[in-house]
Chain A
C-alpha cells in the first residue's frame, strides 16, 4: 500500500510537471493530413492512416516540416516493423538533408546488427549512443530530441541515450544549426514500415529567457540566431534585454544594445501597427522603472524617446 501511495505521489508530481511543460509544446501533425509538411521527392513516401503518419512505400520521398527550427525539444512516438529502418533528420535543408543536417537513427537492431554509432538514437555516423535504448520492434516508443545550441540530447522512452556537443565532433563542423525536421521514408525492404504519432515541438527560440541566455554565447554561430530570435519575439523581449544592458558580459551587453535598438526601429516603421509600438513603449517604460544602473537608464530613456517621437 505504501508503495502504491509513493508511486501515486511520484506520478502526480510528474504529471503536474508534465502538463505545465506540455503547454509549451505544439503539435506538428494534425492526425488527418500532412498539412505543414512537404515531400520533395516524386513518389510520396508517407500517408496518413487512422491518425498515424505511415512510411511504407519503398523509394518514397522523405518528409520535412515546412517551418525551420534551430533550438527545440522535439517529441514523437514511433513504431518500426520487424526490420524497419527510418530516421529523423534534424537542422537540415531538405534539398540535401544529410549534408546540411544529421540523422537521428531509428532502426530495428537485427539483420544486420548495427553498432552504437548506427543504432536507434545515434546521430548516425557522427555520435554513438552511450546508453543503448530498447530497440524492440512492433511496439510504440517515445523519442525526444533536444537541440540546445551546441548540445544535442536524444532520449528514448524517457532515458537519455545520446549526448553530443557538436563543437567537439569534427564531422559535424559544417552542419547547419537551424533547419527543417524530417522523417526518412521506409529505408528497409518492401513491406516494412515506420509509423509516427503524437508529433510535437517546444520551440525554445520563442521563449524570452532561453533566447536571453543565447546573448552570452561567445560564438557568433549561436549568438546571432539568438539575436534573430529576439527580434521575432518582439516586445516581450524588451525587459530581458534591458536587464542585459547592465550585464557584466560585454558580449551580452553589446548584443542587447543592438537588438533593443532594432526592436524599437522596427516598431517605429511607418507601416508598423500602433499596437506594436505601444507594446514596445510600455515594455521600455517598465524596464526603465526597474533599472537602477545609470548607463542602461540613459540608453533606455533615449530609446523610449525615439519610440514616442512624433512628427
Chain B
C-alpha cells in the first residue's frame, strides 16, 4: 500500500507538471534541499535538480558471496560511488563483505542487512547490485525498480523466461536503468569481433557454434542438515520450492540444481552467446533441440553435458559441451565460431582467429572501428545511471540473449525437440513446455504483473 501511495504521488506530480516521473535520485536531492516530505511536493518542484558530476551515487550490494565480493571491489573503486549498505542472508559472508569494503575504503561504514527489503525500503539508495543465486535475480531487480532504484544484476538475467518479461516491463514502467553483469561484453575483443563480422568481410554468417567445456558434477548424496545459525535458509530459498538444507545446495554449487539455476550451461551461456548477439543479432528462433545427460553420481540434476541445435531465421546455432570439430577450437574451454560465406572467425573472451581462404589473420585492419568502446562494464552502468540512457548490456538486450538458454534447458528436461513462436513467446503445441516457462513463487513471494 505504501508503494502504491508513493507511485500515485509520483504519477500526479508528473502529470501536473507535464514531465517524466521524477527519478529517485532527483527526489532524494529534492528532499535534502527542501527538508519537507512528499506532501509539500507540488510547491517546490523548482528545487528538483539533475544529478551532477559532483554527486555521489549511493550503492547497496545484495548478495556478497563470490560475485558480490567482486561488486564491492569494483564499485568501491569509483570516486563517485558511496557504498552505503550490504546485504546477505549469511551473516558470516556479510561480515566478510564489510571487512572487504573497509579494506578498500577505511572510512566506509555500510549498514548491514540480512533481508534485502530493508534496502528496497530505503529512500536514500540510488543503485543496487544483485549477486544473489539466480532464483532471486528477478524479484530483487523488480522490487528495486519499483522503489526507484537502478540495478546492476548478475547473470543469468533470471531464473525463468517469464521473469525476464516481467523485469523488462517493470524497468520500463518505472523508467529505470539496468545492466547485466556480463563484464566480458565491455572488452575490446568482443567489440572488435562484432565490427569485423558486421563489416561483411566474412560474408553472410549462416552458422554459429558455441561451446563451454565441463558440466555439472553429481556432488554425491549428502544427508540433509539443520541450516547453520548464521544462514537464513528460508530467505535464501525465497521464491524457490522449499527444500531441506544441505550445504551443496547453497553457496558455490547451487547452480547444479534446477530448483535454483540450470548448471554450467546457464552460468556461461550469456558470456559467449553475448558475442553472437553483439555480432549477428539472431532473430526469429523457430526450433530448439537439446540432448544431454544429468550426473548419476549425486543429487545434482542439471546437465553433465548438453548439446543444442537452434534454428533462427537464416542462421543455425549449435551449442556443444565439447569444442566443435573446427580448427583452433580444441584449446578453448569456451568459444564461438562464426561460419560465413567468405570465411570463419573463432573467438573466446580475449582471442580471435579469422580465416579467409587459406589465410589466417588476427585482425582485418581495413575494417574501420565503428563501435564506441566501453569505459568498463561498471563505469558504463554508472554513466547510464547519470545520463538515463541504457548501458550496453541493458535489460532488453540481455533478455533477448538469455531466452534461448532457458528454452534449451526446457528441451533438455523434456527430452524433446520444441517449436517456438518468437512473436507470442511460447512453444507451439506443447503445453508442458509452456508450463515450464514460468514458476509459481513460494508463498509469500509473488511475481508481479507488468
Contact = CB atoms under 8 A, between A and B. Distances in A.
B223 to A, nearest CB: 6
A253 B224 CA distance: 11
Contact of B434 (A266, A295, A311): A311
B341 interface: no
A294 B443 CA distance: 13
Contacts of B297: 220
Interface size class of A (residues with CB under 8 A): 20 to 34
Interface in B280-308: 294, 296-299, 301
Contacts of A270: 429-430
Contact of B432 (A218, A250, A257, A309): A309
B93 interface: no
A251 B297 CA distance: 9
A258 B435 contact: no
B414 interface: yes
Contacts of A189: none
A309 B431 contact: yes
Contact of B296 (A224, A268, A306, A310): A224
Taking chain B's interface residues, is the majority helix, strand, or loop, or is none over half, making it mixed? Answer: loop
A268 B224 contact: no
Contacts of A253: 299
B414 A265 contact: yes
A212 interface: no
A253 B298 CA distance: 11
A265 B410 CA distance: 10
Interface in A151-172: none
Interface stretch (B106-114, B239-247, B311-319): B239-247
A210 interface: no
Interface string A272-311: 0000000000000000000000110011001001110111
Contacts of A220: 296-297
Contacts of B221: 218, 249-251, 254
A250 B431 contact: no
Contact of B435 (A251, A254, A295, A305): A305
Contacts of A249: 221
Contacts of B15: none
Nearest to A267: B432
Residue of A223, A270, A294 ringed by the most chain B CB atoms within 10 A: A270
Nearest to B427: A311
Nearest to B294: A258
Interface string B212-224: 0000000001111
A269 B222 CA distance: 33
B255 interface: no
A35 B241 CA distance: 52
Contacts of B429: 270, 311
A252 to B, nearest CB: 9
B51 interface: no
A98 interface: no
A311 B431 contact: yes
Interface in B199-249: 221-224, 241-244, 246
A306 B241 contact: no
Contacts of B435: 305-306, 309
B414 A268 contact: yes
Nearest to B435: A309
Nearest to A253: B299
B413 interface: yes
Given A223-B296, A305-B435, A306-B435, A257 B414 contact: no
B56 interface: no
Interface of B: 221-224, 241-244, 246, 294, 296-299, 301, 413-416, 429-432, 434-436, 440
6 contacts: A295-B243, A298-B242, A305-B435, A309-B432, A311-B429, A311-B431
